[in-house]
Structure 1
Amino acid sequence: MFTALLTSLIALAVLSWSADRFVTGAAGLALDFGLSRALVGLTLVAFGTSAPEILVSATAALSGSSALGVANALGSNIANLGLVLALTLLWRPVPCPDHSRRLVLSACLLVTALAGVVLIDGHLTRADGAILLIGLAALALITWHRKTSTPQPARPQPGRSRRHDLLLFFGGLVLLLISARALVWGATEAARQLGVGEALIGLTLVALGTSLPELATCLAATRRGHGDLALGNVLGSNILNLLMVLPMPALLGPGRLADPALLDRDYAAMVLLTLVMALGMMLAVRHPLGRGTGLALLGGYAVYLMVLWRGLGACL
């Protein structure tokens, strides 16, 4: 028990420190390469914080658990919106510039719809995986074209170097992922020793653990005044979860989805939270994306957890 609690406390401290370094490096790279922080959040930061989901989904598919890979992608998106973005907005409203709103919101809605088209028949095929990867390539081309057509001048900061920013970015990312994993292990072990059931641990501690990198990054970014980077991170992670994580079970373990609730409950919950977020962004014309949207997202996430808990009770 003592080892698990000590590990959790140390991991929490490292998580906070590494998230701060990671965000500092990302913001520095945005200046170094003349990119907007929203674009960096949508690409580099989102890919880094989504790396665990990609690995988990690929491993699950190779071991014959394709449904777990799909649940990983959908569940991560639900937590990113209903927990990560909600808590970020409740702590501090996030600016939502018009150019960022149009690009990110359009991409998020289109990718969510594309995932629905792929999942609607209850089967995942290699063709479905290829369609999602083609969507990823198309989005990458559009993003690159947007960057090159409206370049921003690089603005190196005095006393900083690109090498220093790269070190902060990649070093912070590695420590962020390791500390998040250690925190989940410590909390899970402590809960088991206290007699907490495996199902409850999975629905709470492990679910929170998969979102810790995004949560720590968003809170650190918002604290430093980089709200656009935080918003880009959440929505970019959701887009990559559908275009990079979801194709893994389709390509490596194609077949019928064993659990219809993945579509009826989990995909539906993701769509509803995405629409709540989209409505908030559309209304945030002259004001930041604020606490009202955060409350609505958190409330939706709480309802989703209650539905999960009732379903779990029915199975026991």
Structure 2
Amino acid sequence: MTSLLPSALQIVLGILLLFGGGELFVTGSTAVALLLGIPQIVIGLTVVSLGTSAPELFVSLISTLQGNDAIALSNVVGSNIFNVLVVLGMSALVVPLSVRSRLVRRDVPLLLAVSMAVWGMASGSRLTWQAGLALLVGLGINLVWEIRTAGENPDEVEGFDASERLAPLPAGLRLLAGLVLLVLGSQVLVRGATTAALALGVSQTVVGLTIVAAGTSMPELVTSLVATYRGRVDLAIGNVVGSNLLNLFVILGLCAVASGARGLEVDPTLVSRDLPIMVATTMACLPIFWSHGQITRLEGGILVTLYGLYLAEQVLTNTLPSLTEDFRLVTLTLVLPLVLMVLVWQTVRWWQQRRT
């Protein structure tokens, strides 16, 4: 226990530094976007998403440069799962989230396609620099698409507080301070997580999927909860979808390119279990959005519960492996069918209300 204390303190300190750096980065980025007159939904999908994804970026990139491929990859996969199940779920528990057709038509299908592509790229047990370059090219195409469609709904820029409209100099100083904290926090968190994994006798993949992923996703969670509470549902949902896209496009792309000729080594567990879960959670958003155009409180509670089951499976696999198969059997035969029944009932009820 004593040997774990320094690692735990490093993890906590790293998360706090990342949180502070992410907050400064987000406020500075948002102020710049407002000065440029960018619509609110586009701010959520690009500028705010980049700011809240900055912890994942620095943690994964530094892990790659240090040769910790397991943390670099599992951090991205775990963060995407956390964002959909916990960030969207908890935001919906605060206020039911209405979804703009733009997300249904364009951004969520794009996220699903990119998630499946990454799963396919990683199935060969190594993510090459060529695959990383392809992801970065995809990012460029997506950004051009975002910019070309940014002026479709100019009224969406309204709704920000006057306090968020900063002058260029304060905005730039916040961006710089946030960058410094993000670099420092990333180094501390990676060091603490690696040491904790060795002390606990678990793989770095598990630590990356749980502790590191949840820690680096705190900015997304706080940003979306605050945005939801203030009535900026577009910003909350756009932040999650945009962050997940940037996690795949930017973070995995840069990490794969930075790995050079060796490529990023992929843990077989990620390919067989966690990447499919990441794709499935993204796919689950489509019927919810398409059926009634919102995430209700009940559906938000289901998303958070599913993440709890995901964590429980992770813990059992590493502490009580003999119970893992029984837990999976109960989940597949009882919990998942019940979830599907609730979602179908919600959809049918909405259609009946719409017809009447």
Give me the CA root mean square deviation. Answer: 4.4
Say whether 1:304 aligns with 2:310. Answer: yes
- Deviation sequence 1:244-299 (CA, Å, 0-9, x none): 111233212234635200111110111111122222222233xx322233123212
Say whether 1:56 aligns with 2:59. Answer: yes
Counterpart of 2:74, as a letter, is A
Aligned partner of 1:236 among 233, 236, 242: 242
Q: Would the aligned equivalents of 1:21 and 1:169 in 2 still touch at CA under 8 Å?
A: no
Counterpart of 1:135, as a letter, is G
SS at match of 2:124: coil
Residue pairs, 1:239-278, within 5 angstroms: 239-253=245-259, 254-255=262-263, 257-278=265-286
In the superposition, the TM-score normalised over structure 2's length comes to 0.69
Aligned partner of 1:42 among 40, 45, 59: 45
> In the superposition, relative to structure 1, how do residues 306 and 161 fare at CA in structure 2: closer, same or farther (>3 Å)?
closer
- Deviation sequence 1:77-130 (CA, Å, 0-9, x none): 111112222111112212212234322212212221221231122221111111
- State the match for 1:114 in structure 2: 117
Say whether 1:283 aligns with 2:286. Answer: no
- State the match for 2:196 in structure 1: none
> In the superposition, relative to structure 1, how do residues 208 and 198 fare at CA in structure 2: closer, same or farther (>3 Å)?
farther
Q: Would the aligned equivalents of 2:89 and 2:303 in 1 still touch at CA under 8 Å?
A: yes
Counterpart of 1:300, as a letter, is L
- State the match for 2:139 in structure 1: 136
> In the superposition, relative to structure 1, how do residues 170 and 71 fare at CA in structure 2: closer, same or farther (>3 Å)?
farther
- The higher-RCO structure (CA 8 Å, 6+ apart) is 1
Counterpart of 2:97, as a letter, is V
In the superposition, the TM-score normalised over structure 1's length comes to 0.77
Mapped to 2, the partners of 1:298 and 1:177 lie a distance apart of 33
Which blocks of at least 5 consecutive residues in structure 2 are unaligned? 1-9, 193-198, 323-356
Which blocks of at least 5 consecutive residues in structure 1 are unaligned? 1-6, 190-195
Residue pairs, 1:1-316, within 5 angstroms: 32-148=35-151, 151=154, 162-164=165-167, 167=170, 171=174, 205-253=211-259, 254-255=262-263, 257-285=265-293, 288-313=294-319
Mapped to 1, the partners of 2:69 and 2:15 lie a distance apart of 31
Mapped to 2, the partners of 1:225 and 1:303 lie a distance apart of 30
Mapped to 2, the partners of 1:154 and 1:203 lie a distance apart of 35
Deviates more, 1:257-266 or 1:7-16: 7-16
Mapped to 1, the partners of 2:50 and 2:72 lie a distance apart of 17
Identity among equivalent pairs (%): 32
Mapped to 2, the partners of 1:53 and 1:13 lie a distance apart of 14
Counterpart of 2:119, as a letter, is G
> In the superposition, relative to structure 1, how do residues 221 and 305 fare at CA in structure 2: closer, same or farther (>3 Å)?
same
